[in-house]
C-alpha cells in the first residue's frame, strides 16, 4: 500500500428505478424513477430534497444496499448490482450517527478501524501510516489520544470521517454530515469534505442544511423520487425561478408530482449531444484510470470474517475495560439474574402432586347421586335441630364443626360440579397421581426470561453499532 493518492471513482446512473411492494398489497410504490446522472471522479456533490424525496434510497443504491428494480448503476465503471462485494473496500460511508466507541481514544478507535478497513496483508507500519494520514487530513493530530466521548460534536464527526479515510476510498458517502452541529462547525466539516474532493476523492453528502452547499461543485436535487436538478447552485435558482435555495423546496411541493422531473428530462434531452461529447471526453468506461480495475478492487476488499471477528472482539474488550460503569453492569447483571433464577428454583415445589381424573362409571354415578342427595338435605337447613338422627342429621353435625366445608358445599359451583359429573360433562373420578409440571414450567420460564434480558441488554448496542463498518 503506497502513499500515492488513488483516483476517485465515477458514479453513473442509467435510468435507475427502485420500486417496493405496497404495505396495503396494492400497486408497487416507486421510490426512485428513471434517475440518470454522471458524477465525475473527484467531484463534491450535495444531495438535497424535501423529506421523502428519495435521497436515502439513492445513497443506499450507490452503496449496494438497495436493490435496483430497473436501469443500471455504475461505481468506478463497475455495476453495483454484480460487483457490490468487490466495491465495499472502495467505498467509505459515514452514517449520521457516530459509530466510534466513546470510551476509546481517537488513535485506538482508528487502530481497530484500520484492522478491517485496510487490506488483510497490510503491515503494522502501513496501518500506522494510514492512521497518521487520516488524522492529518481531518485535523485531529492534537487530540489523537483524547477519548472520543470528550470530543466536541465536530471533532467526533471528523473522527468518523478519519475512520473511513483510512483506506483512501475512491467514493466517500456522508449522511447528514452537519446534523446537530453549530454553524461554524458545520462550515468546517463542509470545507473538509471539499478538501477531500480536491484531493481526488469523489464525495457525496446528503444534507438538509443549505448555508454551506456552495462548497459543493454541483447540487443533486430530488423531488418525489425523481431527479429535478443536477448542476450548480446559481443555475438551480434560475431553473426553479426562485431567489433563495430554500425556496426550491417550496417550488417542488407547489407543483404537481412529476412536473419538475419532466422539466429536467426535457432539459437533459436538449443537452444530449453536448452530454455525449462530455462522456467521451471523460472516458467513464471501466478500463479508464478513473475507474480502478477489478484486480485493484479485489486487493482492496475488506478482510474476511475471522479477522473482523477477532478485531471487534478485541475492541469490545478494550472498550468495556475503559468503561468502569459498563464493566460493573456487565459483571453484576449476570450475577443478579443468576440470583433471581436460584431464588425461583429454591421456592418452587417441583414435587407437587396432581390428580388425573376420568368420567364416572354407572356405579359411581349411582353412589354420587345418593350421597349428594343426603348432603344436599343436610346443608339445606339452617340448624341441626331441624334434622333427626338420620344420615343427613349426622352429616350436618359434622359440617357444623367444619364451617368452611359447609360454606363450600353451599356454593352454587359445587352443585354445578356434581350435576356436570353425573351428566358426563366433566371428569371427576380420580385415576392416577402425577407430579404437577406447573412448577417446572414456571422455573423454566423464569430462567428463559432472565437469559433473554441478559442477551438483550448486553447485545443490543452491538446489533446496530458495528453494521456500518462491517457492511461497508
Within-domain flag for 445: no
Q: Report the pLDDT value the prediction gives residue 444, as an integer from 0 to 100.
A: 80
Can you give the pLDDT at residue 286?
A: 46
> What pLDDT score does 72 carry?
92
Distances (CA, A) of 219 to 47, 169, 233, 268: 6, 21, 6, 15
Q: What is the pLDDT of residue 471?
A: 42
pLDDT attached to residue 450: 80
29 and 75 co-located in one domain: yes
**pLDDT the model gives residue 45:** 94
User: Which H helix or E strand runs over 266?
Assistant: helix 259-270
- From the first residue on, what is the mean pLDDT of each consecutive set of 10 residues in the chain (472 residues)? 70 91 77 92 93 89 89 89 76 84 89 84 88 90 90 88 89 83 84 91 90 90 92 91 91 89 86 68 50 50 72 78 75 81 76 80 87 86 70 83 87 89 86 76 80 74 47 40
pLDDT of res. 177: 73
Question: What CATH number is given to the structural domain containing 254?
Answer: 3.40.50.300
CA dihedral 457, 460, 466, 471 (to 10 degrees): 150
Residue 295 in domain: no
- Cell numbers placing 93: 460511508
Phi-psi label, residue 225: left if phi above 0, alpha if psi -120 to 50, beta otherwise: left
Name the nearest CA neighbour of 106 among 69, 172, 41, 150.
150
Same domain for 130 and 262, yes or no, is yes
The pLDDT tens digits for 403-462 are: 898 888 889 898 888 888 888 888 888 888 777 777 777 778 888 888 888 777 766 655
| Contact indicator for 390, 397 with CB cutoff of 8 Å | no
The residue written with cell numbers 471539499 in the block is 194
What's the domain range around 364? 353-435
With respect to residue 464, please indicate whether it lies within any of the assigned structural domains: no
- Is residue 34 within 8 A of residue 316, CB to CB? The reply is no
Residue 281 confidence (pLDDT): 61
In a domain, 152, yes or no: yes
pTM attached to this predicted model:
0.67
Cβ atoms of residues 251 and 241 within 8 Å:
yes
Assigned C-alpha cell, 126: 502501513
Question: What pLDDT is recorded for position 122?
Answer: 83
Say whether both 190 and 232 belong to one domain: yes
Same domain, 362 and 257: no
Q: Are 259 and 399 members of one domain? A: no
Amino acid at each position: 500500500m503506497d502513499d500515492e493518492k488513488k483516483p476517485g471513482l465515477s458514479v453513473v446512473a442509467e435510468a435507475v428505478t427502485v420500486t417496493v411492494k405496497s404495505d396495503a398489497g396494492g400497486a408497487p410504490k416507486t421510490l426512485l424513477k428513471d434517475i440518470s446522472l454522471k458524477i465525475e471522479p473527484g467531484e463534491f456533490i450535495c444531495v438535497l430534497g424535501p423529506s421523502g424525496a428519495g435521497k436515502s434510497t439513492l445513497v443506499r443504491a450507490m452503496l449496494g444496499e438497495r436493490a435496483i428494480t430497473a436501469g443500471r448503476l455504475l461505481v468506478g465503471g463497475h455495476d453495483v448490482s454484480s460487483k457490490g462485494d468487490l466495491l465495499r473496500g472502495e467505498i467509505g460511508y459515514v452514517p449520521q450517527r457516530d459509530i466510534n466507541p466513546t470510551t476509546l481514544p481517537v488513535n485506538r478507535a482508528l487502530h481497530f478501524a484500520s484492522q478491517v478497513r485496510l487490506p488483510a496483508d497490510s503491515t503494522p507500519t502501513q496501518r500506522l501510516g494510514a492512521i497518521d494520514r487520516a488524522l492529518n487530513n481531518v485535523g485531529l493530530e492534537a487530540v489523537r489520544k483524547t477519548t472520543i466521548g470528550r470530543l466536541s460534536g465536530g471533532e467526533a464527526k471528523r473522527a468518523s470521517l478519519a475512520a473511513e479515510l483510512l483506506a483512501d476510498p475512491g467514493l466517500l458517502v456522508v449522511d447528514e454530515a452537519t446534523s446537530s452541529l453549530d454553524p461554524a462547525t458545520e462550515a468546517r466539516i463542509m470545507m473538509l469534505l471539499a478538501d477531500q474532493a480536491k484531493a481526488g476523492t469523489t464525495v457525496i453528502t446528503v444534507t438538509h442544511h443549505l448555508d454551506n452547499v456552495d462548497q459543493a461543485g454541483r447540487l443533486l436535487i430530488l423531488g418525489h423520487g425523481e431527479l429535478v436538478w443536477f448542476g450548480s447552485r446559481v443555475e438551480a435558482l434560475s431553473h426553479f425561478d426562485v431567489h433563495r435555495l430554500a425556496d426550491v423546496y417550496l417550488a417542488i411541493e407547489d407543483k404537481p408530482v412529476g412536473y419538475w422531473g419532466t422539466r429536467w428530462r426535457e432539459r437533459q434531452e436538449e443537452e444530449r449531444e453536448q452530454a455525449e461529447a462530455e462522456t467521451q471526453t471523460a472516458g467513464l468506461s471501466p478500463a479508464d484510470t478513473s475507474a480502478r480495475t477489478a484486480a485493484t478492487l479485489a486487493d482492496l476488499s475488506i478482510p474476511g470474517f475471522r479477522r473482523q471477528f477477532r478485531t471487534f472482539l478485541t475492541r469490545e474488550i478494550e472498550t468495556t475495560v475503559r468503561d468502569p460503569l459498563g464493566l460493573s453492569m456487565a459483571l453484576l447483571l449476570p450475577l443478579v439474574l443468576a440470583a433471581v433464577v436460584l431464588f425461583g428454583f429454591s421456592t418452587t415445589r417441583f414435587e407437587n402432586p396432581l390428580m388425573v381424573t376420568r368420567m364416572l362409571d354407572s356405579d359411581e354415578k349411582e353412589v354420587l347421586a345418593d350421597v349428594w342427595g343426603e348432603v344436599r338435605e343436610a346443608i339445606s337447613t339452617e340448624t341441626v335441630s331441624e334434622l333427626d338422627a338420620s344420615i343427613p342429621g349426622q352429616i350436618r353435625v359434622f359440617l357444623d364443626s367444619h364451617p368452611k366445608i359447609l360454606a363450600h358445599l353451599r356454593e352454587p359451583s359445587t352443585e354445578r360440579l356434581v350435576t356436570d359429573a353425573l351428566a358426563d360433562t366433566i371428569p371427576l373420578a380420580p385415576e392416577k397421581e402425577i407430579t404437577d409440571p406447573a412448577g417446572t414450567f414456571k422455573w423454566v420460564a423464569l430462567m428463559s426470561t432472565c437469559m433473554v434480558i441478559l442477551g438483550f441488554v448486553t447485545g443490543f448496542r452491538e446489533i446496530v453499532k458495528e453494521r456500518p463498518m462491517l457492511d461497508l
